[in-house]
Amino acid sequence: MISLILRTATRFLLTLLLLYSVFLLLRGHHEPGGGFVAGLVAAGAFALYAIAYDVKAARRALRADPRALIALGLLVAAGSGAASFLGRKPFLSGQWIAFTLPGPTRFDLGTPLLFDVGVYLTVVGVTLLIILSLTEE
């Protein structure tokens, strides 16, 4: 069943949902959100795309193989933990760099964010791996 309305809406929704997932990922450290939820949102966006079009199109839109995303996610998460070795700290100790922006704002960037990116990628990869391969059956 092809629905023109769903297809047109999905093309905008995919972008919006992906932006929202990045927003969730980035705000997670201070407000509700985080890599896991953001990953689910992103996976949901592509699943919606698969419903509106088909799995092939969803795979094309995703560009990367979900399996590669899983591997990349685990690598990023583990790698963010290994960064603490540079500071001679135990595995997964958070390492932070503080930036001072103009005005009274301070901006902290740390490896936990990178770790969350790893979680995000893994969740997207696993969820889409399961959903897309189930759908292709």
Partner 1 sequence: MGITVAVLAGFALSLGAPWIHRVARGSTGWLLAVLPLGLTAYFAGWIGPISAGETATASFPWVPSLGIHFSFYLDGLGLLFALLITGIGALVLVYSGGYLAGHDQLGRFYAFLLMFMGSMLGLVLADNLITLFVFWELTSLSSYLLIGFDHEREASRTAALQALLVTGVGGLALLAGLLLMGQVGGSLELSHLLRQGAVIREHGLYLPILLLVLGGALTKSAQFPFHFWLPNAMEAPTPVSAYLHSATMVKAGIYLLARLSPLLAGTDAWLYSVATAGAVTMLLGAFLAYQSSDLKRMLAHSTVGALGMLTLLLGIGGPPAVSAAMVFLFGHALYKGGLFLVAGAIDHATGVREAERLGGLGASMPITATAAVLAALSMAGLPPLLGFIGKEMVYEAIWGARHAPLLLTGATLVTSILFVAVAGVAGVRPFIRSARDRQRPHEPPISLWIGPVLLSVSGLIVGLVPGTAGEPLISPAVAAVLGGPETARLALWHGMNPTLALSVMALAGGVGIYLARARLAPAASRVVAGVSRWGSERWYSASLDAVNGLARAQTRWLQSGYLRYYLLMIVATMLGSVGYTLASLGGARAPSGWSDLYLYELVVAALILLAAGVAVRSRSRLGAVAALGVVGYGQALIYILFGAPDLAMTQFLVETLMVILFVLVFYHLPRFAPLSGGRARAHDALIALATGGLMATLVLIATAVQLHPAISDYFAEQSLAQAHGRNVVNVILVDFRALDTLGEITVLAVAGIGVYALLKLRSPSGRNK
Nearest-angstrom CA–CA distance, 9 and 102: 40
DSSP 3-state assignment of 37? Answer: helix
- Phi and psi at residue 25, in whole multiples of 5°? -60, -45
Q: Is 134 in the site for partner 1 (CB under 8 A)?
A: yes
Nearest-angstrom CA–CA distance, 23 and 7: 24
| Nearest residue (CB) to partner 1, 18 versus 74 | 74
Q: Which of 14, 17, 50, 62 binds partner 1 (CB under 8 A)?
A: 50
What is the phi-psi region of residue 123: left when phi exceeds 0, alpha when psi lies from -120 to 50, beta otherwise?
Answer: alpha
Q: Is 26 in the site for partner 1 (CB under 8 A)?
A: no
| Residue whose pair of structure tokens reads 């201070």 in the numeric block | 30
Q: Which of 14, 62, 70, 83 binds partner 1 (CB under 8 A)?
A: 70
Q: Which parts of this chain interact with partner 1 (CB under 8 A)? A: 28-37, 40-41, 43-44, 47-48, 50-51, 66-67, 70, 73-74, 77-78, 81, 91-92, 94, 96, 108, 110, 112-113, 115-116, 118-119, 122-123, 125-127, 129-131, 133-137
